[in-house]
Amino acid sequence: MSLTHAQEIEFKEAFALFDPTNSGTIQPQAFSDFLALLNNPELSSKVTLPTQPLDFKAFTALLAANHKGAETSDEAYAALFKSINKDASGNVSSAELRSALQHFGNNALSEADVDEIVHEADVSGDGRICLEEFLKIMQKSEKKLRGEHIV
């Protein structure tokens, strides 16, 4: 299996979202959550859910063969945003972001850390992150992973 550089970056970023402790593995339930966030019934029906934790190699092996025609990063991020935005207001609060991070096992960030993330991303100054602001954060993260210079 050979991934393009862009696919490898995309898969690493997706894997990292579900491995917040950097343990090198994601739990079966986190993988199931990942598939649900993709909102791609065709892919979900083709992929057998694991019963053991997945390392990055196993994660990519499950996804790479079915990656053609998959949604773009922005579409995947929009689906992630929608899942975080529990009240469907179109804006993510610090509390919603903190809850999502904890759901995926990231308990290392303090309330102040999460508030800082929201403050940094909140261009409009309303104390919440809209989809456009969320996409900018995620695109910036992708560029960092690719080693591109960020202004």
Average pLDDT in the 127-148 region? 79
Tokens (6 digits) for 24: 């090198």
* Most confident option among 58-62, 79-83, 122-126: 122-126
pLDDT value, residue 78: 82
Number of H helices, E strands in the chain: 8, 4
Average pLDDT in the 102-109 region? 72
Question: Would the pLDDT of 1 be above 60?
Answer: no
Q: For residue 2, what pLDDT band results from cuts at 50, 70 and 90?
A: low
Question: Would the pLDDT of 118 be above 70?
Answer: yes
Burial-class residue 15 by CB neighbours within 10 Å (0-12, 13-18, 19+).
buried
Average pLDDT in the 75-104 region? 84
pLDDT by residue (tens digit) across 15-63? Answer: 888 887 888 998 888 888 777 777 667 766 777 788 888 898 888 887 7
CA 142 to CA 138: how far, in whole Å?
Answer: 6
Task: Record the pTM.
Answer: 0.52
